[in-house]
DNA sequence: ATGATGTTTTAGCTTTTGCTTAAATACGCA
DNA sequence: TGCGTATTTAAGCAAAAGCTAAAACATCAT
């Protein structure tokens, strides 16, 4: 029976199968990488990550003030980031501080510091 | 007048303003980085990028076969990636081949080869 | 306890995303 | 020219994402 997909004259079936098995080996890695990148692929969340990458820890209020956003909206983004293991929270009194977690730092750090070399460094004299 | 956002007792206004200016300097970079990561932050598109990162060029049909997806669906993903400058197409006869473009490779390459060190390498003897 | 503050959660709504199906475009060949 | 192949585009739809507003928690101070 005819498949619905494209039937090329030069369809290299062997090559395609090789690609499929190759892909299947890295599938779980790609899957988790995709969800990590999806988290970082949102401007608001990327800004949050950038802020936290400056070394400081910030509370929800701080971030909301900096980004000029609702505390609620920020909190929801933080939740996603926390669920993704990108950051973790610790409570001091009634304020919750957020810090980048080590878990995905190897991937995130280069992304976040990569731009510092180009545009940051306005602070130092 | 009272702002709608959180008014902490210890709201370090100066620090917040510092964060804002710091952020404003990298804003355009963060914006384009976010859209790049949003492109890669989709499992299907990340798979496509991974396949293309193996050095080969692939046509829409190939990718559709490998991913077991509709040619149309793949084509729409490829369009997004092309619009984002991640890859470019060149036509040979009636088939369109896609290749990773150099433009965002510095950012993408480490992501895509990062996993090869863990799970790939099944090809070589 | 009571109230004020910092945060999270819920519900509702709009926008965006990703797919399917069908039609349109482009190219090669007889 | 006309048909088959490769790809793109358009329309429509269901699911997901992101925000607002309001309510619910949690913690501290009185």
Contact list in B for residue A39 (CB cut-off 8 A) is 41
pLDDT at B29: 96
Q: Do B20 and A66 touch (CB under 8 A)?
A: yes
CA B79 to chain centre: 13
Burial B87-107 (b: 16+ CB within 10 A, else e): bebeeeeeebbbebbeebeeb
Q: Does B32 touch chain A (CB under 8 A)?
A: no
The half-sphere exposure of A53 on its side-chain side, counting CA atoms within 13 A, is 24
pLDDT at B7: 54
From A26, A71, A120, residue closest to B6, measured CB to CB: A71
pLDDT at B8: 65
Question: For each successive 10 residues of chain B (125 residues), what is the average pLDDT?
Answer: 46 86 95 98 98 91 95 98 96 94 95 67 37
| Nearest CA distance, A9 vs chain B (angstrom) | 11
Q: Widest CA span of chain B, in angstroms?
A: 72
For chain A, which domains are there? 30-115 (1.10.10.10)
A36-69 confidence digits (pLDDT tens): 999 999 999 999 999 999 988 899 999 999 999 9
From the CA of A96, how many Å to the C1' of D27?
11
Determine whether the distance from the CB of B7 to the nearest atom of strand C is below 7 Å.
yes
pLDDT at B115: 72
Rg value, chain A, Cα: 21
pTM of the model: 0.87
Mean pLDDT of A106-119: 79
Beta bridge partners of B90: B97
Q: Do B33 and A20 touch (CB under 8 A)?
A: no
Determine whether the distance from the CB of B87 to the nearest atom of strand D is below 7 Å.
no
How far apart (Å, rounded) are the C-alpha atoms in residues B61 and A122?
49
């Amino acid at each position: 029976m005819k498949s619905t997909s494209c039937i090329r004259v030069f369809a290299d079936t062997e090559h395609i199968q090789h690609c499929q098995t190759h892909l299947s080996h890295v599938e779980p890695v790609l899957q988790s990488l995709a969800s990590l990148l999806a988290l970082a692929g949102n401007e608001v969340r990327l800004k949050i990550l950038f802020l936290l990458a400056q070394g400081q820890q910030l509370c929800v209020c701080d971030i909301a003030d900096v980004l000029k956003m609702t505390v609620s909206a920020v909190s929801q983004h933080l939740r996603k980031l926390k669920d993704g293991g990108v950051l973790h929270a610790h409570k001091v009194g009634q304020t919750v501080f957020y810090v980048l977690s080590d878990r995905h730092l190897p991937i995130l750090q280069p992304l976040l510091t990569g731009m510092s070399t180009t545009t940051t460094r306005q602070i130092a004299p």
